[in-house]
């Protein structure tokens, strides 16, 4: 197990106490993400946490319906994880990214070194609360919360930040710890170059005579329309990433933004990736690249949904001549440079939390969201 929390347990309500061990790092970089099951036997608990998280989705009678949906979907989702090797590689990739990030930060920011990365997943180990227990045990006094979602959504980034807020409603926040927030980074130049490089790598694998005809489909996790209408920033921020990448590529290829991973019967943001492929094939298009524009590492939605369900199965069904998928940023050197620069500039910034993060959606009615942002405003500004 990656974390030490199995060995370093403490009472649930203790918080960052005076029992903290000698500091192993001067700066903690906490990498926030939803996570993914490493083994098929973790799938049920993973789904249960998702289906009962009202930040992620709002269901009628959620305490009853959420667990029911989790139980019902478990065998199907277990089968998908089995088909990609038995589990998600998201923890592996996040650890690699975190290690490379901190090695680089130690070199370019010696005043804040040594740096140590921590992983706070929302729905599977290492869970947020256990990770903060570990940070306490390490005695770190400078904590940077670094969302691994380049584009902010209340359902993803927001849920992770709310989980941290909830942790500190049960655990006292220490006066001698400085905490700050990196909540979004959709158009960082090096992120854009990394994604552009991944696309260029795939373009080169098409016949030279067909490269100008390749349709680039930027695919991102969809969002319920009620969340979009509430004012969630995610669609506009994903769009900003797409246009920055196409500017990097010189706008020389046809492209579209499409959406994947719809769940449930309610209306979601479209067009959906599979439907878009069907539509473009009807228009005579024969060559495609799918680009996971909102994911920074490989996981079930790239390895199964994009690779197996769309590129392989749907591609064969539709008779697509050439369809490829650009790799996620993973450990691309430009991407590591990007996240290192993001953290470096943040450490040098006088603002521990951005004003956009503190602004709620125009039609937000969540008391939890209101209290969470009020808490971050107080804690981070006092840092």
Burial of 91 (0-12, 13-18, 19+ CB in 10 A): buried
In-domain check, residue 77: yes
State yes or no: is 243 an active-site residue. Answer: no
Phi, psi of 145 (to 5 degrees): -85, 115
In total, how many domains does the chain have?
2
In-domain check, residue 1: no
Same domain, 93 and 169: yes
Compute CA 101 distance to the chain's CA centroid, rounded to the nearest angstrom: 16
Same domain, 279 and 226: yes
Alpha carbon separation from 256 to 216, 269, 273, 306 (Å, rounded): 6, 14, 10, 16
DSSP annotation of 42 reads G
Interatomic CA distance for residues 301 and 149, integer angstroms: 14
Same domain, 346 and 268: no
pLDDT tens, position by position, 237-270 = 999 999 999 999 999 999 999 999 998 788 999 9
The pLDDT of residue 383 is 55
CATH number at residue 93: 3.40.50.1400
Pick from 304, 325, 346: which residue ends a domain? 325
Contact of 162 with 357, CB cutoff 8 Å: no
pLDDT tens, position by position, 153-185 = 999 999 999 999 999 999 999 889 999 999 999
| pTM beyond cutoff 0.85 | yes
In-domain check, residue 21: no
Give the contacts of 61 (CB within 8 A, at least 6 positions apart).
none
Task: Domain of residue 350: give its range.
Answer: 27-186+334-382
Same domain, 162 and 32: yes
Residue of 188, 304, 332, 346 marked active site: 188
State yes or no: is 341 an active-site residue. Answer: yes
Same domain, 132 and 213: no
Interatomic CA distance for residues 22 and 80, integer angstroms: 43
pLDDT tens, position by position, 41-99 = 999 999 999 998 887 777 778 788 888 888 999 999 999 999 999 999 999 999 999 99
Core vs surface per residue 116-151: b (16+ CB within 10 A) or e: bbbbbbbbbbbbbbbbbbbbbbbebbbbbbbbbbbb
Mean per-residue pLDDT over the chain, rounded = 92
Same domain, 59 and 167: yes
SS3 249: coil
Same domain, 366 and 307: no
For residue 153, is it left (φ>0), alpha (ψ between -120 and 50) or beta?
beta
In-domain check, residue 127: yes
Same domain, 224 and 317: yes
Residue of 125, 304, 341, 346 marked active site: 341
Element (H, E) at 6: none
């Amino acid at each position: 197990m990656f974390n030490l929390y199995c060995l370093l347990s403490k009472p649930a309500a203790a918080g960052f106490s005076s029992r903290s061990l000698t500091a192993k790092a001067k700066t903690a970089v906490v990498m926030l993400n939803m996570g993914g099951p490493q083994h098929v036997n973790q799938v049920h608990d993973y789904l249960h946490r998702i289906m009962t998280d009202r930040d992620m989705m709002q269901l009628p009678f959620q305490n009853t319906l959420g667990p029911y949906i989790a139980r019902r979907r478990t065998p199907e989702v277990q089968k998908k994880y089995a088909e990609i090797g038995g589990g998600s590689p998201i923890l592996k990739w996040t650890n690699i990214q975190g290690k490379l990030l901190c090695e680089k930060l130690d070199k370019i920011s010696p005043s804040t070194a040594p740096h140590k990365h921590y992983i706070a997943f929302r729905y599977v180990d290492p869970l947020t609360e256990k990770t903060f227990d570990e940070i306490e045990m390490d005695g770190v006094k400078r904590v940077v919360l670094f969302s691994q979602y380049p584009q902010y959504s209340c359902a993803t980034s927001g849920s992770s930040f709310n989980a941290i807020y909830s942790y500190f409603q049960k655990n006292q926040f220490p006066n001698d710890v400085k905490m700050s927030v990196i909540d979004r980074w959709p158009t960082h130049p090096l992120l854009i170059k990394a994604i552009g490089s991944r696309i260029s790598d795939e373009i080169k694998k098409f016949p030279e005579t067909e490269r100008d005809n390749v349709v680039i489909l930027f695919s991102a996790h969809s969002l319920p329309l009620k969340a979009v209408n509430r004012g969630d920033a995610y669609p506009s921020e994903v769009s900003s990433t797409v246009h920055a990448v196409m500017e990097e590529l010189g706008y020389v290829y046809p492209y579209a933004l499409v959406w994947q991973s719809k769940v449930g019967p309610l209306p979601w943001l479209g067009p959906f990736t599979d439907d878009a492929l069907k539509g473009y094939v009807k228009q005579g298009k024969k060559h495609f690249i799918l680009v996971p524009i909102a994911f920074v590492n490989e996981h079930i939605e790239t390895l199964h949904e994009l690779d197996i369900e769309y590129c392989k199965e749907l591609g064969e069904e539709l008779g697509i001549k050439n369809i490829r998928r650009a790799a996620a940023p993973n450990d691309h050197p430009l991407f590591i440079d990007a996240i290192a620069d993001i953290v470096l500039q943040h450490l040098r910034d006088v603002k521990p939390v951005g004003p956009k993060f503190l602004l709620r959606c125009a039609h937000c009615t969540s008391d939890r969201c209101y209290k969470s942002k009020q808490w971050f405003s107080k804690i981070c500004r006092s840092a």
